Amino acid sequence: MSYLFTSESVSEGHPDKIADQISDALVDHFLAFDPQSKVACETLVTTGQVVLAGEVKSKTYLDVQQLARDVIKRIGYTRSEYMFEANSCGILSAIHEQSPDINQGVDRQDPRLQGAGDQGMMFGYATDETANYMPLALDISHRILIELAAMRRENKEITYLRPDAKAQVTIEYSDDNQPIRIDAIVVSTQHDDFDEEAAMLGKIKKDIIELLIPRVKAQLSPELQKLFTDDIKYHINPTGKFVIGGPHGDAGLTGRKIIVDTYGGKGAHGGGAFSGKDPSKVDRSAAYATRHIAKNLVAAGVCKEVLVQVSYAIGVVEPMGIFVDTYGTANVDLTDGEIAKKVQDIFDMTPYGIETRLKLRTPMYQDAAAYGHMGRKPETVTRSFTNGEGETKEITFETFTWEKLDYVDRVKESFGL
């Protein structure tokens, strides 16, 4: 019997995502000037106010207030009527030095013996149902909001959009787990005030269905485009008016959208957030590493779908264990336990091994802080960073290194594929 599965995404202007992007802007700038920085930075945003808190150990000094304002401005909170505006909001910093009790368990004289920055379990997931090995419902949800933000910045076809938005996609699957059609699409977008609410709702619904959705559909393969039928149930701003939004509508906190950041409810999540943390925190680095493993396993043909778990103890170098679940889709004559053993032999899952393999001590994180950390396209980019003393540094680095299919040949050789 067929079944329905739903995933959601939120825009870069969503309060929680503003907080994530500010926290990761701080991580990037600390790493740009001191790659060995230890950072754990949380952000709170609310009406006219930003609060920064956390622990940092770094050789550089940053103007954290200006960095926060730059992020808010880039997102689009630039008008006073939003009640949260880049140049006028108050910013309080309560950032202090990292506890030496934690640091002594992580740092070692030999960096290869670096211990995990915390205990916990992390998961990576991949499926062959999309070209980027991501769950389809989440992939489409992200695409809807990326295009909506692009149209907001273009300010041509749709001229009333404000930064806050959410999207949700429900897909019907057959009993053999193949997508049949899109059952429902939900889009809630913040907008300028209209004189007449009924006319406003009609126009927004028409613009989303007739202008936005075709742009999203055009990005997909012909096979996936067929899922967009005339029977889709659209819920566009279903509560009605959505003028008050962003941090004025709801407070935002770093790390509250971890399912948006990962797989939209598919697979599993260990519970730890990513944003605001340097890569010594395995909540972040090991989640990226398990995604890298899962994606390369599926791309190599070991299985059609896979969940990979790794776990750590604080201060301990080697992981507690690696778990693999192929959901019965394995194309090799091995148990999931035997696959996990081979994975352990192919991939170095020590904190140092992950950091070096994925080049994680580069300032790559702000790009990941909206529209998902997984399923993104790796690129080589050059960016400028400025510290609190006015020193500017230009750095060239790779983004989304955990999305590279650079271990496919090694996986194939190990599994005899």
User: Which of 63, 128, 250, 318 does the annotation list as catalytic?
Assistant: 250
On whether 166 is known to bind a ligand per the annotation, the reply is: yes
- Confirm if 188 and 242 have CB atoms less than 8 A apart: yes
Could you tell me the CA-to-CA distances from 61 to 35, 55, 100, 308 in Å, in that order?
A: 13, 13, 19, 38
Over the stretch 296-354, which tens digit does the pLDDT of each residue have? 999 999 999 999 999 999 988 899 999 999 999 999 999 999 999 999 999 999 999 99
Residue type, 227: L
- CB burial string 102-128: b at 16+ within 10 A, e below: beebbbeeeeeebbbbbebbbbbbbbe
Per-residue pLDDT of 6-42, as tens digits, reads 999 999 999 999 999 999 999 999 999 999 999 999 9
257 is in an annotated binding site: yes
Token pair 């041509």 is found at 156
Report d(CA 154, CA 161) in Å as an integer: 10
Q: What integer pLDDT is reported at residue 199 of this predicted model?
A: 87
- Strand-pair partners of 397: 381
| Fold match between domain 3-10+135-244 and domain 120-128+281-415 | yes
Whether residue 38 is annotated as binding a ligand: the answer is no
Domain-by-domain residue ranges, the chain?
3-10+135-244, 120-128+281-415
pLDDT in tens, 386-403: 999 999 999 999 999 999
At residue 274, the pLDDT reads 97
Active site residue 166: yes
pTM: 0.95
Counting Cα atoms < 13 Å in the Cβ hemisphere of 218 gives 7
> What HEC string does the chain produce?
CCEEEEEEEECCCCHHHHHHHHHHHHHHHHHHHCCCCEEEEEEEEECCEEEEEEEEECCCCCCHHHHHHHHHHHHCCCCHHHCCCCCCCEEEEEEEECCHHHHHHHCCCCHHHCCECCCEEEEEEEECCCCCCCCHHHHHHHHHHHHHHHHHHHCCCCCCEEEEEEEEEEEEECCCCCEEEEEEEEEEEEECCCCCHHHHHHHHHHHHHHHHHHHHHCCCCHHHHCCCCCCCEEEECCCCCCCCCHHHHCCEECCCCHHHHCCCCCCCCCCCCCCCECCCCHHHHHHHHHHHHHHHHHHHCCECEEEEEEEECECCCCCCEEEEECCCCECCCCCHHHHHHHHHHHCCCCHHHHHHHCCCCCCCCHHHHCCCCCCCCCCEEEEEEECCCCCEEEEEEECCHHHCCCCHHHHHHHHCC
The residue written with tokens 């920064």 in the block is 52
What per-residue confidence (pLDDT) applies to 114? 80
**How are beta strands 305-312 and 321-325 bridged, if at all?**
antiparallel
Could you confirm whether 96 is annotated as catalytic? Answer: no
Instruction: Establish whether 242 is a catalytic residue.
Output: yes
Annotation marks residue 28 as catalytic: no
Q: 250 an active-site residue? A: yes
CA 79, 80, 85, 89: dihedral to nearest 10 degrees? 160
pLDDT at 105 over 90: no
Structure tokens at 260: 């948006």
- Residue 109: predicted pLDDT: 64
Q: Do residues 211 and 151 make contact, with C-beta atoms less than 8 angstroms apart? A: yes
Answer yes or no: are the C-beta atoms of 247 and 15 closer than 8 Å.
yes
Based on the residue annotation, tell me whether 295 is a catalytic residue of this protein: no
CA distance 407 to 156: 43
Is 16 marked within a binding site? yes
Examine the residue annotation and report whether 12 is marked as an active-site residue of this protein: no
Judging by DSSP bridges, how do beta strands 161-173 and 179-191 pair with one another? antiparallel
Active site residue 257: yes
281 is in an annotated binding site: yes
What pLDDT, on a 0 to 100 scale, did the predictor assign at position 292? 98
CATH of domain 3-10+135-244: 3.30.300.10
Instruction: For residue 191, indicate whether it is catalytic.
Output: no
**Per-residue pLDDT reduced to its tens digit, 211-233:** 999 999 999 999 999 999 999 99
- Is residue 73 a known part of a binding site? no
Tell whether residue 42 is among the known ligand binding residues. yes
Instruction: Tell which CATH classification among 3.40.50.970, 3.30.300.10, 3.30.1360.30, 3.30.70.20 matches the domain 120-128+281-415.
Output: 3.30.300.10
Residue 400 to residue 380: CA distance in whole angstroms? 9
| pLDDT category of residue 271 using cuts at 50, 70 and 90 | very high
Q: Catalytic: which of 256, 292, 295, 361? A: 256
Q: Which of the residues 281, 284, 291, 295 is marked catalytic?
A: 281
Active site residue 323: no
pLDDT of residue 128: 97
Write the pLDDT tens digit of every residue in 31-72.
999 999 999 999 999 999 999 999 999 999 999 999 999 999
HSE, CB side, 13 Å, CA atoms: give it for residue 61. Answer: 3
Contact in structure between 285 and 300 (CB atoms under 8 Å): no
Q: Give pLDDT, residue 107.
A: 61
Mean per-residue pLDDT of the chain? 95
Mean pLDDT check: name the lowest of 102-116, 126-140, 210-224, 384-398.
102-116
Q: Does residue 101 carry a pLDDT above 60?
A: no
